[in-house]
Structure 1
Amino acid sequence: MFNLHSTMQSKWFSSIFFVTILTIVLTSATNTFETISDDDLVDRIKSNEFVIVFFAKKSNCVDCDKYENELFKIRDEFRDMFPAQVVKVIDSQLVRLYSPKKEPAIVFFRHGVPLLYSGNINSDEIYQKLDQNRTPTVKELTDDTFEHLTQAATGATTGDWLILFYNRECIDCQRLGAVWEAVGAALRNRVNVARVDKDFRGIKTAKRFGVQKAPEFIFIRQGNFYRYDIPKYDIKSFVSFAQEFYRNARAEKIKAPASPFDELVASIVMYIKSYQANGINNLINDNTYLLPAITVIGFILFILVLKCCLRFRKSGDEQKKKEKSKKSK
């Protein structure tokens, strides 16, 4: 009787131990994210509206474990509320495009536009920041929309603006995409954050502000603008400059947008300078300034001819009046 009881008790403890071990194994197996490759990540970003990516190192990364644990706490909320896919990429070659400091990093893709998470390693804070930025914050400005949206020359009635000038060949500009969205998220409802393609649809605007390289940054406030000449391209530095550090930079008065006539005159000036520097033969082969110059010269000649015609007609009318008056006498 004693042996039977001991045997049953031993089997009972064995069953409990097995169930406990099985539960731990299953829990640990599910307490992680789907791990994908860089190629799979590119496909996910293209085919899904929302994708949250956790970039991690393969080993020896204490912060990676902290990020993953906090992010896992809100994985179900992301799936239910957005819904958003949450994936993990280990030792990715793509992380340098989104995070200057590389791993660990959380990047939120909205219709393919990346936002680098910047904040404390806290599940509630992570969820709040990503939830508030389901749509991109950075505005794309062009020569046609710049003055209308910013009201820069009239005193910035639409608020302050922090603007990135970029071009499509600039590698540093490409790597600033997720960072610049993070700057926009940090300054939401306080400062407008935008960007301008200086070599395409923002050529005139870049010339207006004397922008010559990419990336280049300016802060617009109450009819003045301030150049960001700090060599640090991190979120904290950009936000600090827009909030208060701009006062340490030189204020430059914003010029009014150039009129079409001003642009023609500027082209003529550039043409003359190029003529003096390069000679007539080089200018004939260069249509950059030749066409505007011919246009202005032709317009001036047209005005002169028109004035001569009007004067000739006026003198003719006066002569006819004199002849009529003589005949009447």
Structure 2
Amino acid sequence: MNEKLNIIYICFYVLLLADICFCDIDKLDTDEFDSFVTANPLVLILFKASKECPSCNKALEYLDRLPQPDLVQTEILKRYVMDDVIADRLGALDYPSIVYFRNGNPALYNGKLGSVDDIPELLEWLTQASQVATQDLFEDSFEHLTQASTGATTGDWFVLFYKPGCDDCMKILPSVESAAISVKYRMNFAKVDVEVNKKLAERFKITTCPYGILFKQGKMYPYEPGKFDTQSLIAFTETWYKNVKSSPVPKEPTAFDILTESIAMYIKQQVENPNKNWMLILGVPSVCLLLVIVIVYVFRKPEDSRQKHD
């Protein structure tokens, strides 16, 4: 009997030294990754190093013990992935890393999972993160939601301007979402697709992506730290923005602004035209006349309205 027990103990210690973890979490293959995280509402992915990684195995063991959060009704599916390319694509640069997908939207977990004591913190985060915190803004909703140029009664906003086809942009979105989750009761986080919302890109003079701006009380603060990790983003929105030069938020262009800009662009194009002499003689005076008529109409309209009212 003692010999059998000794054999069992020896086998146990051999497995412990080899750092082998037996758990019910399945490995997700590379070719199934994208379809799996988009087809299922809630997916929790642990990224493990492809080489020997004791801390990764420990994290996997604790993730296996992780219960379903009480306030999250939909089952969270847990998988682990060993693929450096996918991990890099999601900004999961350190192993082990945890990424939480909500209907395909990733959030990078900023906490630890190195012991049983870390499980309650992860459970709380999963509850807070079950709904996507980063809003999508568009040309027809930007000013209404942010009230950026009027002083903002809707609070402060950190807005990321990005391009879907930009690898650097897509890599930081999970960290931006993580920051949005951490401060969602104190700060609004949003993103703007500059390819879809070109007028917003022009309004804020966005020439490079990714580019972040903090809109706060009628002023805007460009994000200058360079690093788009979760802690740097939170630090900037809370205190570090005071170290950068702010500028007034440009007003939303009116229909008249757009018209005058179009006319100015037309005149510029005609001046650069090889047949500019004829175009200047025939076209520009007509455009200028139209501009004068518009200006007179705009400034006389309030007076006419008052006279009719009287």
What TM-score does the superposition give when structure 1 sets the normalisation length? 0.75
In 1, the alpha carbon distance for the partners of 2:236 and 2:106 equals 22
Query: Counterpart in 2 of 1:43?
Result: 35
Identical amino acids, percent of aligned pairs: 29
- Alignment partner of 2:215 out of 212, 220, 228: 220
- Alignment partner of 1:168 out of 158, 164, 167: 164
Matched, 1:153 2:149: yes
Query: Counterpart in 1 of 2:119?
Result: 123
Query: Counterpart in 1 of 2:189?
Result: 193
Give the AA of the match of 1:208. R
Number of matched pairs:
278
Give the AA of the match of 1:99. G
Matched, 1:61 2:53: yes
Give the AA of the match of 2:130. R
* 1:187-242 CA distance string (max 9 Å, x none): 11111000111221x22222222222211110000000011122212111111110
Report the structure, 1 or 2, having the larger helix content. Answer: 1
Q: In 1, are the aligned partners of 2:176 and 2:228 still within 8 Å (CA)?
A: no
From the superposition, tell whether residues 66 and 281 of structure 1 become closer, same or farther in structure 2 (CA, over 3 Å). Answer: farther
- Alignment partner of 1:99 out of 76, 91, 98: 91
From the superposition, tell whether residues 102 and 274 of structure 1 become closer, same or farther in structure 2 (CA, over 3 Å). Answer: farther
Consecutive aligned runs of 4 or more in structure 1 exceeding 6 Å deviation = 14-25
Matched, 1:87 2:82: no
In 1, the alpha carbon distance for the partners of 2:291 and 2:153 equals 42
Q: How does 1:16-31 map to 2 (within 5 A)?
A: 30-31=22-23
Matched, 1:279 2:270: no
From the superposition, tell whether residues 175 and 303 of structure 1 become closer, same or farther in structure 2 (CA, over 3 Å). Answer: same
In 1, the alpha carbon distance for the partners of 2:112 and 2:232 equals 17
Query: Counterpart in 2 of 1:300?
Result: 290
Q: Which runs of 5+ in 2 are unaligned?
A: 277-282, 298-310
In 1, the alpha carbon distance for the partners of 2:170 and 2:202 equals 22
From the superposition, tell whether residues 281 and 115 of structure 1 become closer, same or farther in structure 2 (CA, over 3 Å). Answer: farther
CA-atom RMSD in angstroms: 3.2
In 2, the alpha carbon distance for the partners of 1:301 and 1:152 equals 30
Q: In 2, are the aligned partners of 1:38 and 1:92 still within 8 Å (CA)?
A: no
Query: Counterpart in 2 of 1:177?
Result: 173
Q: Which runs of 5+ in 1 are unaligned?
A: 1-9, 283-292, 308-329
Query: Counterpart in 1 of 2:302?
Result: none
Instruction: Give SS of 1:94's match.
Output: helix
Give the AA of the match of 1:197. D
Query: Counterpart in 2 of 1:142?
Result: 138
- Alignment partner of 1:77 out of 46, 56, 68: 68
Q: In 1, are the aligned partners of 2:68 and 2:76 still within 8 Å (CA)?
A: no
In 2, the alpha carbon distance for the partners of 1:82 and 1:22 equals 39
In 1, the alpha carbon distance for the partners of 2:291 and 2:81 equals 67
* 1:251-286 CA distance string (max 9 Å, x none): 11112211111011112223333444x43469xxxx
From the superposition, tell whether residues 78 and 263 of structure 1 become closer, same or farther in structure 2 (CA, over 3 Å). Answer: same
Alpha-carbon shift at residue 172 of structure 1 (Å): 1.0
Q: In 1, are the aligned partners of 2:47 and 2:92 still within 8 Å (CA)?
A: no
Alpha-carbon shift at residue 154 of structure 1 (Å): 1.3
Give the AA of the match of 1:73. R
